[in-house]
Amino acid sequence: MVDINKLMSFEDGQLNAKDTLELFSELIQTGQAWSLQGFYGRTAKNLIENGYIDRQGNILYDFHEEDL
């Protein structure tokens, strides 16, 4: 189960790009992306369609210092 504090930090805009992808990676891997409110599923689908994360939840994006 994903840490509720991570979800709250995301909703408050406190996560950087790397932390956000790690959160959604975990949500996809556990299946929670599809059972939480619709925004999470839509965001997960968008991240998959744009090649940041694959359908299994693996992060495909290679981070650079400027991304953090």
pLDDT tens-digit readout, 14-46: 999 999 999 999 999 999 999 999 999 999 999
* Cβ proximity of 48 and 29 under 8 Å: no
Q: Is residue 12 part of a domain?
A: yes
In a domain, 31, yes or no: yes
Residue 48 located in a structural domain: yes
The pLDDT value recorded for residue 38 is: 95
Domain total for the chain? 1
**Would you state the pLDDT for residue 39?**
96
Q: Is residue 17 part of a domain?
A: yes
A 10 A CB-CB count for 9 gives 15
Q: What is the mean pLDDT of residues 41-58?
A: 97
Contact (Cβ atoms closer than 8 angstroms) between residue 44 and residue 26: no
Residue 68 has pLDDT above 70, yes or no: no
Mean pLDDT of 48-56: 96
Q: Is residue 68 part of a domain?
A: no
Note down the domain range covering 20. Answer: 4-62
